[in-house]
């Protein structure tokens, strides 16, 4: 299907600009063709017989407000995909990949760098003693074995878990800083 003037391939004209606001308060115009390419890249190893990316993009388009943050857009995309899991489980895999991709972009690239950030974060800066997310003993162990641990972590494994498994990890198991997830599934696998 050809794109309209806004780059929209869903067949639904965009009658107005939809702003996607980033964490640095800069924004850009929503472009469904970029979303479609992104989702296709995350689902390239899955069967197009079961996962219909253009249909997903169209569903997202119908639910998107005039202004949305990047975080909200990522959740809208993942939740839309997850809602289609009743058609085929591979939608759940793509939903999880969207969230995992976002986490990978937001967090430090290595296990040791990530846990260094968690160790340095002070949970309660008003306390006299350092109150960290991880203990000094655990942090020392990570530093002493940093090369072995970092080389054992395979970020591609973040894409092996489905949406409901990832959401369970987020809700109940992952360590958080300021309410934001600070771990990846590959750190558990």
pLDDT in tens, 96-151: 999 999 999 999 999 999 999 888 887 655 444 456 678 889 999 999 999 999 99
Answer yes or no: is pLDDT of 44 > 60: yes
pLDDT in tens, 158-189: 999 999 999 999 999 998 888 889 999 998 76
> How would you write 80-92 as a 3-class SS string?
HHHHCCCCCCHHH
Distance CA 148, CA 73 (A): 36
Q: Helices 53-63 and 32-42 sit at what angle, rounded to 10 degrees? A: 140
């Amino acid at each position: 299907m050809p794109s309209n003037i806004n780059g929209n391939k869903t067949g639904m004209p965009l009658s107005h600009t939809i702003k996607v606001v980033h964490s640095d308060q800069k924004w850009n115009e929503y472009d469904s063709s970029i979303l479609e390419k992104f989702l296709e890249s995350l689902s390239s190893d899955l069967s197009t017989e079961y996962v219909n990316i253009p249909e997903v993009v169209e569903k997202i388009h119908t639910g998107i407000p005039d202004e949305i943050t990047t975080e909200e857009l990522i959740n809208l995309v993942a939740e839309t995909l997850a809602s289609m899991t009743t058609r085929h489980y591979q939608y759940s895999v793509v939903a999880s990949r969207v969230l995992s991709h976002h986490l990978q972009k937001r967090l430090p690239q290595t296990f040791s760098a990530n846990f260094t950030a968690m160790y340095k974060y002070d949970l309660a800066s008003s306390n006299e003693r350092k109150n960290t997310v991880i203990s000094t003993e655990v942090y020392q162990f990570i530093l002493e074995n940093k090369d072995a641990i970092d080389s054992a972590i395979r970020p591609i494994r973040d894409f092996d878990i489905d949406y409901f498994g990832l959401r369970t990890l987020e809700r109940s198991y992952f360590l958080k800083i300021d309410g934001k997830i600070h771990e990846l599934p590959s750190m558990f696998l």
